[in-house]
Chain A
Amino acid sequence: MTKNFFAGRWGIICVGAVIGILAGILQKMGNPGNMGICVACFERDIAGALGLHRAGVVQYMRPEIIGFVLGALIAALSFKEFKPRCGSAPIVRFVLGVFAMIGALVFLGCPWRALLRLAGGDGSAVIGLLGLAGGIWIGVLFLKNGYNLGRSQVTHKSAGLLFSLIMLGFLCLIFLYPQVAGENKSGVLFYSIKGPGAMHAPLFISIAAGLVIGFAAQRSRFCTMGAFRDLILFRHVHLLTGLISLVLFAFVTNLVLGQFNPGFEGQPVSHTMQVWNFAGMVLAGLAFALAGGCPGRQLFLSGEGDGDAAVFILGMITGAAFAHNFGLASSPKGVGPHGIAAVAVGLVVCLFIGFTMRKNIKGV
């Protein structure tokens, strides 16, 4: 049916394996605990590096994120899949990005990190994943009732490249203003000197891992939100096999590297307020479902020219700034002072979007 190996069953299993193994290795090389890769946390760190928020422990221009976008761009250009497009309700995607990030930061992780926390033995991850599935289930109800954000339009090639160019610009900033040991600022960039933001794998390893994952994930259409959505909506397990592969290979890698520590208490960069682990991920899952992709998938889509996915990511980065400036993000001590209110507001906003943005899309 298709010449694209990665789009087949073994392809998606391989991609899940690559992500799981590389995440374990990145953690071993210096990334924070059970956070070999976390799209939400890393975008939050980028917001910090740019000074959009001033939470001193989470500021680092994460090269993995840059690699994801550029790797996807290279794959899309190599296989003639670069399709510049935009214009499908960008303001809605921005708002969904903001609240997706806020929900993820109440739980402390994107869906990828929820899987990696599980593979590292963190029991609270199960609660987060149940919340994620619950949020996606609500999103599926909206999809079944005609929710959609309308068609995108073909746009200029250069418009499709813009987000990749922003990432390239960020990469230049890393080289122009490299980290100085013991200093919290280098040129325009902020760098954490303690906390998760200070923990990172060597620059070139992070970039290389990001490029490999970006390339493979673009080819395979790997998406954690899609995995649950397609299961609930169509009973399709294709994407789910990739997700299961990620968990299994990350688990084995953690065992081999001595990074598997089962339990609920004292897990790295996490808290045990389970109601809010659950609710945070309900909000994030619903926002991902309404926007059509998990944070990782949105990065890969923006690499292949999707301007709407890029707007979602800009929303996430902005959401991270709000999360830390307003005290919405959780910490190992528990939820932030206004985290609960933010989850409630986010759910109301997402329900408003889901109920009011319906169109007849028969297209016949």
Chain B
Amino acid sequence: MSITIDARGFSCPQPVLMFMEAVKSGNEKEIIVLVDTDTSKENVSRAAENKNYTVRDIQQQGDEYRINIVKD
């Protein structure tokens, strides 16, 4: 199962809270988070690693980032 979270326009801690919500549901093998600031990119990536997820890649699309996170 893959899920996409659109956290664009939200400032911290909202993107991390939204990511955690998806983690809590527990069923998602792959979580894609869309963010638009470097701070959110770093915070979500750090939160993912804390939760034993792996940041597979981060694609930059214009001014936005698409963070691809997978469960270990």
The contact of B14 among A1, A308, A361, by CB within 8 Å, is A361
Interface range for B: 20 to 34
- Inside 8 A of A88's CB, which chain B residues have their CB? 9, 11
| A358 lies within 8 A of chain B by Cβ | no
Q: A152's closest neighbor in chain B, by CB?
A: B9
Assuming the contacts A1-B45, A234-B47, asked whether A364 and B4 have C-beta atoms less than 8 A apart, the reply is yes
A226 to B47, CA, bound (A): 14
The contact of A364 among B5, B20, B50, by CB within 8 Å, is B5
Assuming the contacts A234-B16, A234-B20, A363-B18, asked whether A221 and B39 have C-beta atoms less than 8 A apart, the reply is yes
Mask for B16-34, Cβ within 8 A of A = 1, else 0? 1110111000000000000
Mask for B21-63, Cβ within 8 A of A = 1, else 0? 1100000000000001111001101110110000100000001
Assuming the contacts A151-B8, A221-B39, asked whether A2 and B45 have C-beta atoms less than 8 A apart, the reply is yes
Interface range for A: 20 to 34
Within 8 A of B (CB), among A1-53: 1-2, 4, 7
Beta-carbon contact of A233 and B4 below 8 Å: no
Assuming the contacts A4-B38, A83-B63, A234-B20, asked whether A363 and B13 have C-beta atoms less than 8 A apart, the reply is no
Interface centre among A7, A88, A293 (most CB of B within 10 A): A7
| A292 lies within 8 A of chain B by Cβ | yes
A124 to B26, CA, bound (A): 45
Mask for A315-342, Cβ within 8 A of B = 1, else 0? 0000000000000000000000000000
Q: B37's closest neighbor in chain A, by CB?
A: A83
Min distance, Cβ A144 to any Cβ of chain B, angstroms? 8
The contact of B50 among A7, A148, A234, A363, by CB within 8 Å, is A234
Beta-carbon contact of B11 and A292 below 8 Å: yes
A234 to B50, CA, bound (A): 9
Assuming the contacts A226-B12, A236-B47, asked whether A7 and B63 have C-beta atoms less than 8 A apart, the reply is no
- Inside 8 A of B5's CB, which chain A residues have their CB? 362-364
A238 to B12, CA, bound (A): 14
Min distance, Cβ A101 to any Cβ of chain B, angstroms? 20
| A130 lies within 8 A of chain B by Cβ | no
Within 8 A of B (CB), among A85-112: 85, 88
A4 to B22, CA, bound (A): 27
- Inside 8 A of A85's CB, which chain B residues have their CB? 9, 36
Q: B10's closest neighbor in chain A, by CB?
A: A151
A363 to B8, CA, bound (A): 9
Beta-carbon contact of B55 and A361 below 8 Å: no
Interface residues of A (CB under 8 A from B): 1-2, 4, 7, 79, 81, 83, 85, 88, 143, 148, 150-154, 221, 226, 229-230, 233-234, 236, 238, 292-293, 301, 306, 308, 361-364
